[in-house]
A and B are shown apart, each in its own frame.
Chain A
Amino acid sequence: ETGVTQSPTHLIKTRGQQVTLRCSSQSGHNTVSWYQQALGQGPQFIFQYYREEENGRGNFPPRFSGLQFPNYSSELNVNALELDDSALYLCASSLVGLAVQETQYFGPGTRLLVL
């Protein structure tokens, strides 16, 4: 186990709804990254938070937003859900930022199904 937890484990929503996914990072880690992984594909980077501020963003629309809290836990919010948002959402924590040879520790993921 990596010490990174995510909730909920599974979620079913309908198109147009909003969803909030949560992540608790490993103790001592101050950076959280979120990924979307469609079935049979590699993870796609959504964004990264470092010390409560967005530190980088992938090619995702603004309806994907996030927060990082003082205890370094994080939320991913998705508004106006679309069918294509159905995926495994992964949270990864690391220390300081994405430096050379720094390892990201992944949580078990949240499986989101949009109907």
Chain B
Amino acid sequence: KNQVEQSPQSLIILEGKNCTLQCNYTVSPFSNLRWYKQDTGRGPVSLTIMTFSENTKSNGRYTATLDADTKQSSLHITASQLSDSASYICVVSQKGNYQLIWGAGTKLIIKP
């Protein structure tokens, strides 16, 4: 069964600190992996998209990594800010399929 699992479920860190969110997937055949940021009550906003051949991609303070062999991805946030408080969702696209398979997300809270 095609699944995307994220950890931790929730995370609280102090402003200025770094953190890393994890995503494991069993989707096959793999097309691409996306990380989205979703503020409470708002639609998701795309952070990064990576294909099979890409190991890392950055968007400002956000850096995503992909290991297609172990089917794992991570999202690293550097020097966190209060505005980083949101849910971060990992999404995997299956090759030849119109669907995106979504994880449940990691709820990140940044405290001052």
Known: A55-B98, A88-B41, A98-B93. A103 touches B104 (CB 8 A): no
Instruction: Please name all residues of chain B whose beta carbon is closer than 8 Å to the beta carbon of A45 when the two chains form the complex.
Output: 99-100, 102
A90 touches which of B43, B91, B99, B105 (Cβ 8 Å): B43
Known: A100-B32, A101-B32. A44 touches B102 (CB 8 A): yes
Instruction: Please name all residues of chain A whose beta carbon is closer than 8 Å to the beta carbon of B98 when the two chains form the complex.
Output: 48, 55-56, 97-98
Q: How many A-B residue pairs have CB under 8 A?
A: 59
Q: How far is the CA of A105 from the CA of B34 in the complex (A)?
A: 13
Q: Are B44's CB and A90's CB within 8 A?
A: yes
B89 interface residue, CB < 8 Å from A? Answer: yes
Of the 9-residue stretches A12-20, A62-70, A73-81, A107-115, which lies at the interface with chain B? A107-115
A7 to chain B, nearest CB (A): 14
B89 touches which of A42, A48, A97 (Cβ 8 Å): A42
Nearest residue in A to B95 (C-beta to C-beta)? A100
Q: Are A42's CB and B105's CB within 8 A?
A: yes
B36 to chain A, nearest CB (A): 8
How many interface residues does chain B have, given as a range? Answer: 20 to 34
A101 touches which of B49, B91, B103 (Cβ 8 Å): B49
Known: A45-B99, A56-B99. A103 touches B46 (CB 8 A): yes
Instruction: Please name all residues of chain A whose beta carbon is closer than 8 Å to the beta carbon of B49 when the two chains form the complex.
Output: 101, 103
B1 interface residue, CB < 8 Å from A? Answer: no
A36 to chain B, nearest CB (A): 11
Q: How far is the CA of A68 from the CA of B59 in the complex (A)?
A: 33
Interchain residue pairs with CB less than 8 A apart (10): A4-B43, A40-B104, A44-B102, A90-B43, A98-B98, A100-B51, A103-B49, A108-B43, A109-B41, A109-B42
